[in-house]
Amino acid sequence: MDYSLSVWIILLPFLAFLITGLAGGRMKAIVSGIIGTASMAIAFVLSIMTAWSYFFASTQGAEGFAAISPINMVWLRFGDTLHIDLGVMLDPISVMMLVVITTVSLMVHIYSIGYMQGESGFARFFACLSLFSFSMLGLVVATNLFQMYMFWELVGLSSYLLIGFYYDRPSAVAASKKAFIVTRFADLGFLLGILLLSFTTGTFDFQTITNPAGPLITQPSSAMFMGASLTTIAVTLIFMGGAGKSAMFPLHIWLPDAMEGPTPVSALIHAATMVVAGVYLVARLFPVYALAAPSALQIVAWVGGFSSLFAAVIACTQTDIKRVLAYSTMSQIGYMMLALGVSGYGGENGLGYMASMFHLFTHAMFKALLFLGAGSVIHAVHSNEMKDMGGLRKFLPITHLTFLIACLAISGIPPFAGFFSKDEILVAAFQHNMPLFVIEYIVAGLTAFYMFRLYYRIFWSDSEHSHDNAHHTPHESPLVMTLPLMFLAVASATVGFLPFHELVTSDHKGFEAVMHWDLASASVLIGVVGIVAATVMYRRSSTLPDRIAEGMKALYTAAYRKFYIDEIYVFVTKRIIFNGISAPVAWFDRHIVDGTMNGIAWLTNAVSYRIRNLQSGQLQWYAFVLVISVIALGVSAFCMIR
Amino acid sequence: MFPDIPLSHVVIVSTLMFFIGVYGFMTRKNLFAILMSTELILNAVALNFVAFNYYLYPDKMQGLFFALFIIGIAAAEAAVAIAIIVAIYKNFRSVNVEDISQMKQ
Amino acid sequence: MKPVLFYVMAAIILLGSALTVSSRMILRAAVYLLFVLVATAGIYFLMDYTFLAASQLTLYAGGIIVLIIFAVMLTSGSGELQPKVGRTKAALAILASVAGTLTCLASYFAYNAFLPRTVPTDSSVRAIGAALVSTGQNGYMLPFEVISVLLLAAMIAAIIIARRDAES
């Protein structure tokens, strides 16, 4: 089948960006929305067709699903093998990601037509959305490390533009800067890793680097540095870049603040697509991690595990609904990283890889649904705080139902999608790394707990105040906003049944998935325990949560303050970097570098003042100089001849 | 004069006259005095040429002609210089060399 | 006889030039210069260069000195005392002059290859005249013509520079 149409999946959003970005101001606002949505809809259809054709209609070779590159052109050539290409590569995970990105982006586009209605930057919003979609799509189909890096940076830029969308709000501006700087700092590691990796292999191309029979894996570099091989260091640095983009500890600080952006942005970027770019990066380079640098994989697993626990604890205390969802995202991505970290390569060993990708897929669906639902709630009550909500189930029926489905999915209740993917992760952890399994088991319970705390606080407990006296009776959102909610709810309910173990695996060949009934029931049990606990505490408003918080005062305060990580960062940058390093360097620049320049100028001035008489215009002085010079010449000539 | 007076004596005379002229050129303030010092210099040069011609190449006349032409050119130069000094006097009302360079401001 | 005359001329030259550059009154300086030029002509006579001596007296002493005296009388007050020379200037000038003298004399006396003359001089007016208008090896036709042009130019320049500007 001819896959050359697949390049349009990436180019259509780019065209939409150009049109809405350049001409959006001159059109009616709604036209920009329609252009953006239409281009995304076509891209969605194309990606579904590509996925159908790739996974189900074409014949698998003995090697499983082959990676196809319909387009790959050389862009910059440095040497014989070292060149930067631009192209499209279709392999199981990139095709899967195409489907995910186009689906969620289409839902967000449709939703935004309703949510952003009446805003002054409507056209600009859709232009940035198209730019982001283009960047993310280009990232996932990248054929080589450098192309991925370029689109990585483009994604960061789009995120900056969208978080800082309300640019007249200082908090939004600060948040966008924070996101950009933190991810840029992480990308330093990414770039170093790219350089190291391409240095050892002589190429940027993914297929060459990740070939299990290729030179990188079969003959790893023997150069060692600080006890680790060059390959390990390179992929660890690359993971640092991925950790920044995916908000892993300690580079997570930008994600909660990124909630300053409009809610559709949070749904698209910070739940479903951009933040999973780090996971995608590790998955893309997985053969290198698993076969040539297993110690790096350990780091990936533990960072993921710790981040998920950290985020889950904080999420239990937050009161801003978007921040709860942000920490929930961080926790779920920790799950995905952990699953990759405990995975082996090939067949049943690659269960963690498959589970991670499966969870990425399902998480995109229900997390986008959660954010869009939260947006619907915020749209109704004009506030982000839980204290302004409660009892909304009477006013927002569709939102309520879809939100409930999403919460059940994320808590791992069958038959919703989250159960299948989370269960596979727990099985993989159980088989390979017991301590991490225990941590993740606890986190599963915490996840159910805080998600249902959120659910009950929004839709049930309502003795804080009565909405009848509110200045504005909350009402259900218009159809254009509820339609995506319904679609995503259906998706959250059904995609769990996709046979991922046949389609997306570490070595591209399918394997038999075995149902571990004991672990499955254990995971459902802990989910139910969390739900029950939340129900007891939050279904009706009571003082039980406050009494528990009083009992664990220190832990509660620390969790509420996000464990003071932001304060530590401020301390390090202000005290240590600014005062300790920047100030002396600035002093040096001002006094020594500038001082030298000023000194040279002063010297020139002083000397010229002294010798200004040489050109005084006085005849007799000239004569004197002439005579002296001639005498000097004569004497020197005389001496030379002698 | 030959051979009673050696060449070196004549050369000493002309050299001393030359550098007395140089001293006068650098020292004096009156433009006419500077002109007269210049004439001293030229005269010394002519004497030098003639002396070398007489003592070393008596059958040739190059030195003689050189001195002749020096005299002619010195006359022309003195005429032009005096014309300039007169013009300066008309404009600046002074023939002091320092006044000329300062009034130019 | 001749040596005595030469040393007298030399003494007049040196004394006269010293007085020219140091005299406080311009006219006296001009007269001292006259003495110097006449003494130089005397030395030329001692060398049997009669034509040269005659032109020296006529042009230099007779023309230029008279011109200078006229100009002095036309412009600055001829009776005014010239100001004294500043110390620094005098010192520097003396330094330059002494250095120059020593250099020249040293370079002269370092050269030991001056051959004595063997052939008598030939400097009659006839020979000079013939050389002046002849071309070739010992011909001075070209400089002769050029100097006549130069004198013309000098005349015109002097007239233009010094004339009374009718326009201004």
Q: Mutating which of B1, B18, B23, B93 best tests the C interface, going by the most C Cβ atoms within 10 A?
A: B23
Alpha helices in A342-396, H assignment, sequence order: 351-381
Tens of pLDDT, residues A186-205: 999 999 999 988 887 777 88
- Nearest to A360, CA basis, from A422, A411, A299, A403: A422
- As a residue count, chain A comes to 642
Residue B73 has pLDDT above 50, yes or no: yes
Say whether A285 sits in a helix, a strand or coil. coil
Question: In this predicted structure, what is the pLDDT of residue A190?
Answer: 93
Q: What percent of chain A has pLDDT over 90?
A: 29
Asked if the C-beta of B25 comes within 8 angstroms of chain A's C-beta atoms, the answer is: yes
Kindly indicate the confidence band of residue A429, based on its pLDDT and cuts at 50, 70 and 90: confident
Neighbours of chain A (3+ CB pairs under 8 A): B, C
Task: Give the integer Cα–Cα distance in Å for A128 and A114.
Answer: 17
Question: In this predicted structure, what is the pLDDT of residue A121?
Answer: 85
- Nearest to A249, CA basis, from A182, A346, A162: A182
* Angle of the B7-27 helix axis to the B31-56 helix axis, nearest 10: 170
End-to-end CA distance of chain C: 61
Determine the Cα angle at A85 with ends A82 and A90, to 5°: 125
- Nearest to A296, CA basis, from A275, A309, A306, A282: A282
Would you call B8 and C121 a contact, using CB atoms and an 8 Å cutoff?
A: no
Which regions in chain C score pLDDT beneath 50? 168
Q: Is the confidence metric ipTM above 0.95 for this complex?
A: no
Close Cβ partners of C102 (under 8 Å, ≥ 6 residues apart): none
Centroid of chain to Cα C94 = 21
Average pLDDT over residues A166-194: 91
Average pLDDT over residues A26-43: 88
Residue A462 has pLDDT above 80, yes or no: no
CA distances from residue A208 to A193, A212, A270, A590 in whole angstroms, order as listed: 16, 9, 31, 50
Tell me A512's DSSP state: P
Task: Give the integer Cα–Cα distance in Å for A480 and A351.
Answer: 39
Q: Is there a contact between A175 and A161 (Cβ–Cβ < 8 Å)?
A: no
Beta strand A228-229 pairing with A68-77: unpaired
Question: In this predicted structure, what is the pLDDT of residue A206?
Answer: 83
Strand partners, A87: A72
- Nearest to A281, CA basis, from A196, A358, A187, A362: A187
Residue A89 has pLDDT above 70, yes or no: yes
**Tokens read off for A366:** 């229900």
Report CA Rg, chain B: 17
Q: Is there a contact between A371 and A442 (Cβ–Cβ < 8 Å)?
A: no
CA distance B1 to chain A (A): 30
Tell me A52's DSSP state: I
Q: What does the DSSP assignment read for A153-200?
A: HHHHHHHHHHHTTSTT-HHHHHHHHHHHHHHHHHHHHHHHHHHHHHHH
Which residues in A lie closer than 8 A to residue C93 (C-beta atoms)?
A: 624
Residue A490 has pLDDT above 70, yes or no: yes
Kindly indicate the confidence band of residue B12, based on its pLDDT and cuts at 50, 70 and 90: very high
Q: Mean pLDDT, chain A, as a whole number?
A: 85
Least confident of A342-346, A440-444, A538-542, C116-120: C116-120
Would you call A631 and C106 a contact, using CB atoms and an 8 Å cutoff?
A: no
CB atoms within 10 A of CB A563: 15
Question: In this predicted structure, what is the pLDDT of residue A469?
Answer: 45
Which residue matches tokens 């013309």? C152
**Tokens read off for A144:** 């080589």
Kindly indicate the confidence band of residue A62, based on its pLDDT and cuts at 50, 70 and 90: low
Average pLDDT over residues A36-46: 93
- Residue in B27, B64, B75 nearest the CB of C63: B75
**Tokens read off for A333:** 């991505």
CA distance A596 to chain C (A): 38
Say whether A235 sits in a helix, a strand or coil. helix
End-to-end CA distance of chain A: 97
Question: In this predicted structure, what is the pLDDT of residue A408?
Answer: 92
CA distance C127 to chain B (A): 9
Q: Which residue in chain B has the smallest CA separation from C102?
A: B15
Question: In this predicted structure, what is the pLDDT of residue A618?
Answer: 76
Question: In this predicted structure, what is the pLDDT of residue C146?
Answer: 93
Which residue matches tokens 């049109």? A19
Would you call C110 and A642 a contact, using CB atoms and an 8 Å cutoff?
A: yes
Kindly indicate the confidence band of residue A465, based on its pLDDT and cuts at 50, 70 and 90: low
Q: What does the DSSP assignment read for A236-274?
A: HHHHHHHHHHTT-TTS-THHHHGGGS-HHHHHIIIIISG
Question: In this predicted structure, what is the pLDDT of residue B39?
Answer: 95
Question: In this predicted structure, what is the pLDDT of residue A225?
Answer: 65
Asked if the C-beta of B61 comes within 8 angstroms of chain C's C-beta atoms, the answer is: yes
Determine the Cα angle at A3 with ends A498 and A66, to 5°: 60
Would you call B71 and C56 a contact, using CB atoms and an 8 Å cutoff?
A: yes
Residue A311 has pLDDT above 80, yes or no: yes
Q: Is there a contact between A443 and A316 (Cβ–Cβ < 8 Å)?
A: no
Least confident of A9-13, A140-144, A375-379, C79-83: C79-83
Close Cβ partners of C91 (under 8 Å, ≥ 6 residues apart): none
Consecutive H or E run containing A86: strand A83-90
Q: Is there a contact between A146 and A204 (Cβ–Cβ < 8 Å)?
A: yes
Asked if the C-beta of B76 comes within 8 angstroms of chain A's C-beta atoms, the answer is: no
Question: In this predicted structure, what is the pLDDT of residue B21?
Answer: 95
CA distances from residue A614 to A225, A626, B98 in whole angstroms, order as listed: 65, 12, 16
- Nearest to A493, CA basis, from A599, A397, A407, A580: A407
Question: In this predicted structure, what is the pLDDT of residue C79?
Answer: 64
Which residue matches tokens 């697949």? A6
Q: For residue C75, how many C-alpha atoms fall within 13 Å in the half-sphere facing its CB? A: 26
Question: In this predicted structure, what is the pLDDT of residue C13?
Answer: 96
Q: Mutating which of B37, B88, B101, B104 best tests the A interface, going by the most A Cβ atoms within 10 A?
A: B101
Which residues in A lie closer than 8 A to residue C107 (C-beta atoms)?
A: 634, 638
Higher local confidence (pLDDT), A93 or A572: A93
Strand partners, A86: A73
Task: Give the integer Cα–Cα distance in Å for A511 and A503.
Answer: 9
Kindly indicate the confidence band of residue B105, based on its pLDDT and cuts at 50, 70 and 90: very low
**Tokens read off for C60:** 């230099």
End-to-end CA distance of chain B: 55
Close Cβ partners of A496 (under 8 Å, ≥ 6 residues apart): A362, A414, A415, A416, A417, A418, A419, A420, A421
Question: In this predicted structure, what is the pLDDT of residue C118?
Answer: 67
CA distance A638 to chain C (A): 7
